[in-house]
Amino acid sequence: MSLLENLNPEQLAAVTLPRESALILAGAGSGKTKVLTARIAWLIQTGQVGPGGVLAVTFTNKASKEMLHRISTMLPINTRAMWVGTFHGLCNRMLRAHWKDAGLPQAFQILDTQDQLSAIKRMFKVLNIDTEKFPPKQLVYFISAAKEQGLRPKDVEAHDEYHRMMVRLYEAYEAQCQREGVVDFSELLLRSFELLGANAALREHYQSRFKYILVDEFQDTNTLQYHWLKRLSGPQGCIFAVGDDDQSIYAFRGARVANMAQFERDFDVQNRIKLEQNYRSVGNVLKAANHLIANNKGRLGKELWTEAGEGEPLRVYEAVSDQDEAAFIIDRIKKLINEEGYSRSDIALLYRSNAQSRVLEQALFNAAIPYRVYGGLRFFERAEIKHALAYLRLLDNADDDNSFSRVVNFPTRGIGARSIEMLQDLATQQGISLFRGVRLMEGRPAASLQKFNELIERMRFEVRGLGLAELVDKVIEASGLIEHFQKDREGEDRIENLKELVNAAASFAAAEGYYQDKPATETDEEKLISPLNDFLSHASLEAGDNAAAAGQDAVQLMTAHAAKGLEFKCVFVTGLEEGIFPHENSIGNSMQAGDGASVDAVEEERRLMYVAITRAREQLFISHAQQRMLHGQIRYHMRSRFLDELPEEVIKWLTPKRAHVASQGWNNAGAGDWGSNAGFSGNGGGYGGKKTTPRPYPIGTGVAHARFGSGVVVAYEGEGDELRVQINFGKQGMKWLMVSLAKLEKV
DNA sequence: CCCGTCAAGGTTTTT
DNA sequence: CCTTGACGGG
């Protein structure tokens, strides 16, 4: 059977498991997508289940598209009957099919994070909330956290005034969303979860329908997602969970690795299959990764191996500065391209946080090397696109006050804050939406508002019978957005993007009906509006590409987080410094996991480093800098503990490896090939020369402290007896010490 | 209503 | 350093 060819014994065992729940521990590069798709194809091909009996869930749209694509190359079936998608996409699909049972309007809209925040700001204005005392973002966080625990306002325990207030605001927010017919991301999940709980017939229908449920990146599931899976699969449920605890890097947003162990208990899992053979990286890369991750406690346990050769050793470079680090990278990139025949897109530069890309970009730009940065605004998040979508949403659901507020005076049509305030008061008092409120308005300001309403009504009329793309085009034109941006000197790109939105609508329509479970009883009116509604859901659930313009062959720049799931022949992991990677907020800190339990934050950083390392197929370069510009200040960092956790035998130091303290001043720092030509500027401050108290340890020097061990002097503040020194003690974190009290020794 | 200035603050991110 | 958000004048 061709399906099962090219599978190793463990992969084969996983793919052909009988109908029972199983946990597949799939290491980086071990062929996890292959196993997931082959399992689905095998189940269907052997007649154990029809396409309609399969549900597969992923975290990103990219992953689910990839899965669908691979399945369709393996099997000549209609993949549309399968439920393959993200948690949010599948919940949306379910809620669209059962909107009435879920207590939602048929044309409910989905709020993305931006929309949710503006909805809350709008609500705060109406309720006269002091945003100094209660920042809107904190409510967003509070609500998401509550929903992810499956808690409605009545279920949240509040023990102090602040939390009681948050609960009241959560309640008010829910009421507002319900009135406006909108749901936020977590609401999609919670609503779907509650629907399955409340409606036994529906629950049993889905439980018997989805004979096989498959979950990708199981280590990233949060509490609510786990319970949703449990409820959906039911007592006879069969869940095939694929994940890697060592690649769990999203605890900060609620992911709960402990779900893996809980899953084994709750589902009485008999089979834990480990996929440890790696098909991506050379031996030295895997040795480094294994050795590093072994420092974490409580792992499920796994060791990657390969049949490939050792490959090059990991090259490690200690830079004098961030500039120097960039210069080293540029030089190596040139070698890789010119002498070793790699193309630019084979090369990735990874860093811990986005701010680090600046120096690298500058250096690449100066060297005229094309590059592409991942991260930042995505297509459907752009302001002009959000505006256009707001008009479309108003056609679809006139009660969407968020959208109303966004475009009622954009482009400007003489509707000021005063008019909106009056309208808002009226609408609040009547308990109706802004759009409906306009009809009840009287007096002068009402005229321009009524004109706006008429515009929307006219659009709705003119758009009748049009295809989706024509509809979008028409609305953009009639909204006055194009005209508005034509007047704008920098509006050209925005007009381009609006045209692109029409294209997006066209290709969305071309991909044919998005949901196959639509009841076949649509009226003409519903038929008109339904593709639009589907498109709007799509726009909210899939924000689009977040990479800078896809030019030619380019070097890839991204955070270690963004690199998860990707692979490159040559990888540079940069900024391996205590305080950068691991990030300073993680050092000496534990963090809250999805269930409120405390987890070691440095361990998550270590897993992130593990992810970064395992992106490399052939060549891996690791670098750190003694000093770098951060928040407008030069900061001094010790070399990262993660560097010292890599096995000596796979490392080749390009600069002399130094004993414990990373920095001993820069006089001897540029000993390597690159130090001398580094674009290293400034002396790092501290020598201001005014009437300051003498500073016994120059910034950048190594010192030792009886309790904290060795560290690097970072900064000073105060004068005389009050003179304090800031020292980066690496694993002990950053400390401010009184020079007069702390017994420091130069190292 | 638009644009300027100033202060604040600054991990990681998908849906 | 550099971006984002909040105010006040033209």
Find the Å distance, CA of residue A106 to C1' of nucleotide B10: 42
**Structural tokens at position A709:** 């061990």
**CB of residue A632 closer than 7 A to nucleic acid strand C?**
yes
A177-217 pLDDT, tens digit per residue, is 999 999 999 999 999 999 999 999 999 999 999 999 999 99
Q: Is the CB of A422 under 7 A from strand B?
A: no
* Cβ within 8 Å of residue A359, ≥6 positions away: A322, A323, A325, A326, A628, A629
- When pLDDT is averaged across residues A533-546 and rounded to a whole number, the result is 90
Determine what percent of chain A is predicted with pLDDT higher than 70.
91
A216: CB within 7 A of chain B nucleic strand: no
Name the nt closest to A381 by C-alpha to C1': B15
pLDDT at A683 over 70: no
pLDDT in tens, A648-665: 999 999 999 987 654 443
Which of A94-103, A318-327, A594-603 has the least mean pLDDT?
A594-603
Task: Please tell me the distance from the alpha carbon of residue A380 to that of residue A656, in angstroms, as a whole number.
Answer: 48
Type and span of the H or E element at A619: strand A616-630
Which of A109, A55, A37, A80 has the alpha carbon at shortest distance from A231? A55
pLDDT beyond 50 at A687: no
Strand C atom within 7 Å of A412 CB = no
- Give me A529's structure tokens: 């509006």
Among residues A148, A216, A322, A346, which one is catalytic? A216
Instruction: Please report the pLDDT score of residue A151 as a whole number.
Output: 96
User: What's the Å distance between residue A632 CA and nucleotide B10 C1'?
Assistant: 10
pLDDT at A279 > cutoff 60: yes
State the DSSP code for A621: E
A341 touches strand C (CB under 7 A): no
Average pLDDT over residues A1-22: 92
Q: Is the CB of A235 under 7 A from strand B?
A: no
A220 belongs to the catalytic site:
no
What does the buried/exposed string (b/e) look like for A641-662 if buried means 16 or more CB atoms within 10 Å of the residue's CB?
A: bbbeebeeebbebbbeebeebb
Average pLDDT over residues A715-737: 79
Q: Return the pLDDT at A104.
A: 96
Give me the catalytic one of A33, A106, A131, A424: A33
Quick check: A113 CB within 7 A of strand B?
A: yes
Most confident of A473-482, A539-548, A728-737: A473-482
Which of A49, A22, A36 lies closest to A210, judged by CA?
Answer: A49
Q: Which residue is nearest to nucleotide B12 (CA to C1')?
A: A561
Which range among A136-145, A227-236, A686-695 shows the weakest confidence by mean pLDDT?
A686-695
| Domains along the sequence of chain A with CATH | 2-99+190-275 (3.40.50.300), 110-180 (1.10.10.160), 280-378+548-657 (3.40.50.300), 382-519 (1.10.486.10), 661-747 (no CATH)
The CA distance from A336 to A727, in Å, is 38
Tell me how many degrees the CA angle A78-A79-A84 measures, rounded to the nearest 5.
165
Tell me what the mean pLDDT of segment A449-475 comes to. Answer: 93
- pTM score, whole prediction: 0.89
The integer distance in angstroms from the CA atom of A12 to the C1' atom of C7 is: 65
- Nearest nt by C1' to A410 Cα: B1
Gap from A458 CA to B1 C1', Å: 27
pLDDT at A710 over 70: yes
| Per-residue flag: A629 CB under 7 A of strand C | yes
Q: A574 CA to C7 C1', in Å?
A: 40
Q: Which nucleotides of B are covered by protein (CB under 7 A)?
A: 1-2, 9-15
What one-character-per-residue DSSP string does A630-691 give? Answer: ETTEEEE-PBPHHHHTS-GGGEEESS---SS-S-S-STTGGGSTTGGG----S--SS---SS
Active site annotation includes A615: yes
Measured between alpha carbons, how far is A386 from A404 in angstroms, rounded to an integer? 12
Rounded to an integer, the average pLDDT of A416-423 is: 85
Residue A517 confidence (pLDDT) above 50: no
Say whether A490 is catalytic.
no
User: Per-residue pLDDT tens for A29-51?
Assistant: 999 999 999 999 999 999 999 99
Q: Which DSSP letter does residue A246 get?
A: G
Query: What pLDDT shows up at residue A481?
Result: 92
Examine the pLDDT at A744 and tell me if it is beyond 70. yes
Q: Where are the beta strands (DSSP E) in A444-592?
A: 555-559, 568-573, 590-592
Per-residue pLDDT, A1: 55
Distance A116 CA to B14 C1' (A): 15
Please tell me the predicted confidence (pLDDT) of residue A366: 94
| Smallest CA–C1' separation from A362, nucleotide | C1
**A16 pLDDT above the threshold of 60:** yes
Residue A501 DSSP symbol: H
Segment A472-477 long-range contacts (CB within 8 Å, at least 24 positions apart): A472/A388, A472/A392, A472/A501, A472/A502, A472/A505, A472/A535, A473/A502, A473/A505, A475/A388, A475/A391, A475/A392, A475/A395, A476/A388, A476/A391, A476/A501, A476/A502
Q: Would you place residue A89 in the very low, low, confident or very high pLDDT band (cuts 50, 70, 90)?
A: very high
Q: What is the mean pLDDT of chain A?
A: 88
Q: How far is the CA of A573 from the C1' of C2 (A)?
A: 24
The two structure tokens encoding residue A603: 């361990």
Cβ contact A29:A278 at 8 Å: yes
What is the predicted pLDDT for the residue at A596?
Answer: 57
Give the separation between CA A405 and CA A420, rounded to whole angstroms: 8
Identify the pLDDT of residue A545.
80
From the candidates A86, A109, A176, A247, give the one annotated as an active-site residue: A247
Residue A593: what pLDDT? 61
pLDDT band at A724 (very low <50, low <70, confident <90, very high): confident
Q: Establish whether A458 is a catalytic residue.
A: no
pLDDT, average across residues A460-466: 91
**Residues A456 and A398: beta-carbon distance below 8 Å:** yes
* Whole-number pLDDT of residue A133: 85
Which two structure tokens, joined as six digits, stand for A142?
């509070």
What's the pLDDT score for residue A525?
A: 39
pLDDT score at A597? 61
3-state DSSP assignment of residue A40: helix
Rounded to whole angstroms, the Cα distance separating A357 from A378 reads 18
CA separation for the pair A413, A710 (Å, rounded): 64
Nucleotides on strand C with an atom closer than 7 A to protein CB? 1-2, 6
Task: Please name the helix (run of DSSP H) or strand (run of DSSP E) that holds residue A113, with its range, or none.
Answer: helix A113-127
Q: What is the pLDDT of residue A405?
A: 92
A355 alpha carbon, distance to own chain's centre: 16
- Checking if the pLDDT of A682 tops 60, the result is no
Weakest mean pLDDT among A367-376, A644-653, A690-699: A690-699
Burial class for A297, CB neighbours closer than 10 Å (0-12, 13-18, 19+): exposed
Active site residue A553: no
Query: Which 520-559 residues of chain A approach strand B with CB closer than 7 Å?
Result: 541-543, 546, 558-559
Angstrom distance, A631 CA to B5 C1':
21
Q: Is A217 a catalytic residue?
A: yes
- Strand C reaches within 7 A of the A444 CB: no
Per the structure block, which two tokens stand in for A367? Answer: 């060297």
A546-572 tens-digit pLDDT: 777 666 899 999 999 999 999 999 999
Strands A239-243 and A22-26, how do they pair?
parallel
Catalytic residue among A32, A386, A564, A628: A32
Query: Is A412's CB less than 7 Å from nucleic acid strand B?
Result: yes
More confident residue, A314 or A747: A314
Q: What burial class does residue A527 get, using C-beta atoms within 10 Å of its C-beta: 0-12 exposed, 13-18 middle, 19+ buried?
A: exposed
Q: Which of A38-47, A76-85, A734-743 has the lowest mean pLDDT?
A: A734-743
pLDDT (mean) for A378-399: 93
Q: What is the pLDDT of residue A691?
A: 57
The helix/strand/coil state of A274 is strand
Q: Can you tell me the distance from the alpha carbon of A207 to that of A10, in angstroms, rounded to the nearest whole number? A: 29
Q: Which pLDDT belongs to residue A167?
A: 95
pLDDT tens-digit map of A573-592: 999 999 999 999 998 766 66
**Coil, strand or helix at A319:** strand
pLDDT at residue A249, rounded to an integer: 96
Average pLDDT value for residue range A143-171: 94
Please determine, for residue A427, whether its predicted confidence score (pLDDT) is greater than 80: yes
Closest CA relative to residue A278, chosen from A613, A649, A647: A613
Those residues whose C-beta lies under 8 Å from the C-beta of residue A256, and which sit 6 or more positions away, are A221, A222, A223, A226, A593, A594, A595
Q: Give pLDDT, residue A592.
A: 62
pLDDT in tens, A239-256: 999 999 999 999 999 999
Q: Which nucleotide is nearest to A559 (CA to C1')?
A: B12
